[in-house]
Amino acid sequence: MKQIIEPQRKIDVIQEADVVVIGGGPAGIAAAVSAARNGAQTILLEMFGSLGGMQTQCLNASFSFIDPAIQGGIIDDITYGLKRNGGLIRDISKESRTGKGMGGIFFDVEAYKLLLDEMILAAGIKPLYHVFAAGAVMEKNHIKAVIIESKEGRQAILGKVFIDTTGSGDIIWKSGSPSISDGFSKGPKKGRHAGLGYTFFFGGVDYAKLKAFRREHPEEWGGLWGGKELIKKSKADGTLYGNRAAFLLSEVWGRGSIWILGPQYALPKGHHPWMTEDITQGSIDLRKQAWSMYNLLKKNVGGFEKSYIEKTPTMVLLRDAHRLLGEYTLTEADIRAAKVFDDSIAVSNMCPDVFGPDDEHEWIGSISLYDIPYRCLISKKTDNLMSAGATISTDFITWCATRYCTPSICTGQAAGTAAALAARKKVSPGKLDIKLLQETLSRQGARVGLKDVPKAVINEYQQKAERSAERSKASTF
Ligand SMILES: Cc1cc2nc3c(=O)[nH]c(=O)nc-3n(C[C@H](O)[C@H](O)[C@H](O)COP(=O)(O)OP(=O)(O)OC[C@H]3O[C@@H](n4cnc5c(N)ncnc54)[C@H](O)[C@@H]3O)c2cc1C
């Protein structure tokens, strides 16, 4: 590839803080709020004009598997805040242990954005929106500053601890810190990244008619994922343009809207979800697929006759990009065995929801509860770099679970609290007293490990996992 030299230049240092959080998705929000509530001067950087990450930019308006016996702290503040501002559309948290569905809550994206602005301002955080974190200035194994690009140009932000919550590990790899970007973990597709995804909302749907249609066609449309036969036939006769073998259709309760996850853009071997050309081609292709699906559903499925495309995402769903290579990497074997860790900072009740490079999908419901160790949040090499959410140190299968929003809030809460304590104690996050961190998290309502979960609840989750293993024996379509 041709290269040119960028001349060295001085840039302005526009802010300085104890904790700098990069990326305002669920993990970043929890990290920033926790850091600030624990007394750290905190800056939150976000490349878009609102917070929420994939939940607002990619329209995943939900938190799955909320359970007060498993999580606590910031997730409660969010649920309460949404209730208060009228943004809570549906609360099915009671189903989290039953295995009936995804448990958790569904919310109004716009009300959620407003709530997050209010939460971070109330915590005293300095937010900077419309800034892209483009790189880092290193001093040996230490990040001195993060470089941002914005309408104002190139500027720097100094900090004591940096938390990468970009969902794609941008600062982890741009700072030269060790990272994981291994891709799909099995079979002939090993090493390829999970494809880019897309989700969109239909408006003007006649629910009553759609419900009746689903009842009349239980085989094809009765489940969460539907339309397999229609898709097969329409792909064969050329009336559908798209990759997916089934659509996930979900009612946005009582609003005449349907949320759909369907379009999928495959990345061939050697292509990566951080490559501009792939993201560009993917964005164009996924939009084309969405319109093709819309035309298909409108013509063939009862209830869609007067529907229209209401909302498409700001950005495509980038799945597995870079993750931190941490002091410890949590593995599938660990979570299958529910391994107990002395340095656990959160419990997760999320099973791996595995999306493969093409249209493979596997829900590993046989995994129940497991600890997340603090060392997964600490860079193996860079002494003041942490991570939370989708980019903690895990193998591919574990990432398919820990990246989800509810565990992301929990690891964000732990990372923010640890960063604030480390800055206050003038130690690197890796040298922080784990007991102090665990006690601080517990006082703030978090469940830090399986030891905090009542035995009866653990049993309920185990029974759910056994039922799931029986039912599916791994469902792949
Ligand atoms: C269609 C869809 C369906 C999903 N379904 C579910 C579900 O049912 N349940 C569930 O729990 N999860 C679901 N997920 C997954 C979930 O949304 C993500 O795993 C989760 O949002 C990850 O959280 P995060 O905070 O780590 O990262 P993200 O949500 O990706 O947030 C990262 C943030 O960082 C910002 N950012 C990125 N790079 C930079 C940069 N260089 N500079 C500045 N800012 C930057 C981004 O704009 C974003 O705001 C779904 C996701 C999608 C898209």
Rounded to 10°, the helix 26-37/109-122 angle is: 20
Choosing from 315, 399, 404, 409 the residue with most ligand 1 atoms within 8 A of its CB, the one to mutate for a pocket test is 404
- In sign, the C-alpha dihedral spanning 322, 324, 329, 330 is negative
Q: How far is ligand 1, taken at its centre, from the CA of residue 132, in Å?
A: 16
The set of long-range contacts for 220-225, using a CB threshold of 8 Å and a minimum separation of 24, is 221/301, 224/101, 224/248, 224/250, 225/361, 225/477
User: Cα–Cα distance between 23 and 240 in angstroms, integer?
Assistant: 36
- pLDDT, residue 361, reads 85
The set of long-range contacts for 132-135, using a CB threshold of 8 Å and a minimum separation of 24, is 132/47, 133/22, 133/23, 133/45, 133/47, 133/166, 133/170, 133/171, 134/174, 135/171, 135/174, 135/175
- pLDDT, residue 244, reads 81
- pLDDT, residue 473, reads 58
Three-class secondary structure of residue 82 per DSSP: helix
User: Cα–Cα distance between 180 and 174 in angstroms, integer?
Assistant: 13
From the CA of 51, give the closest atom in ligand 1: 49
Q: How far is ligand 1, taken at its centre, from the CA of residue 183, in Å?
A: 18
Q: How far is ligand 1, taken at its centre, from the CA of residue 202, in Å?
A: 21
User: Which residues are near ligand 1 (CB < 6 Å)?
Assistant: 22-28, 45-48, 53-55, 57-58, 60, 62-64, 102, 132-133, 165-168, 170, 197, 199, 261, 317, 389-390, 403-406, 408
Cβ neighbourhood burial of 363 (10 Å; 0-12, 13-18, 19+): middle
From the CA of 23, give the closest atom in ligand 1: 34
From the CA of 134, give the closest atom in ligand 1: 41
Considering only CA atoms, which residue is closest to atom 37 of ligand 1?
Answer: 166
- pLDDT, residue 477, reads 34
pLDDT tens, position by position, 221-280: 888 788 999 999 999 999 999 878 888 888 776 777 888 888 889 999 999 999 999 999
Considering only CA atoms, which residue is closest to atom 48 of ligand 1?
Answer: 53
Residue 157: which H helix or E strand, with range? strand 153-164
CA distances to 37, 264, 272, 319, 365 from 195, in Å:
38, 6, 9, 7, 22
From the CA of 27, give the closest atom in ligand 1: 25
Considering only CA atoms, which residue is closest to atom 50 of ligand 1?
Answer: 60
pLDDT tens, position by position, 89-134: 999 999 999 888 788 999 999 999 999 999 999 999 999 999 999 9
Q: How far is ligand 1, taken at its centre, from the CA of residue 8, in Å?
A: 34
Q: How far is ligand 1, taken at its centre, from the CA of residue 415, in Å?
A: 17
Domain layout of the chain by residue ranges: 12-183+321-351+372-454, 195-311
Task: Name the residue among 164, 165, 132 with its Cα closest to residue 27.
Answer: 165
Length of the chain, in residues: 477
- pLDDT, residue 476, reads 42
Residues lower than pLDDT 50 in the chain: 474-477
Q: How far is ligand 1, taken at its centre, from the CA of residue 386, in Å?
A: 17
CB-based contact 421:437 (threshold 8 Å): yes
Rounded to 10°, the helix 228-236/276-300 angle is: 110
CB-based contact 368:67 (threshold 8 Å): no
Q: How far is ligand 1, taken at its centre, from the CA of residue 139, in Å?
A: 30
Choosing from 57, 59, 60, 90 the residue with most ligand 1 atoms within 8 A of its CB, the one to mutate for a pocket test is 60
Q: How many CB atoms lie within 10 A of CB 118?
A: 12
Which tokens go with 236? 């064969």
- Beta-bridged to residue 88, according to DSSP, are 107
Considering only CA atoms, which residue is closest to atom 38 of ligand 1?
Answer: 166
> Alpha helix locations (H) across 85-187?
109-122, 170-174
CATH fold of the domain at 12-183+321-351+372-454: FAD/NAD(P)-binding domain (3.50.50)
User: Cα–Cα distance between 415 and 345 in angstroms, integer?
Assistant: 9
Q: How far is ligand 1, taken at its centre, from the CA of residue 323, in Å?
A: 13
Tokens 């500053």 -> residue: 145
Which tokens go with 270? 């050697």
Which tokens go with 324? 């931190």
Specify the amino acid at residue 477: F
Burial code (b: 16+ CB inside 10 Å, e: under 16) for 206-215 equals bbeebeebbe
What pTM value is reported for the model? Answer: 0.96
Considering only CA atoms, which residue is closest to atom 15 of ligand 1?
Answer: 404
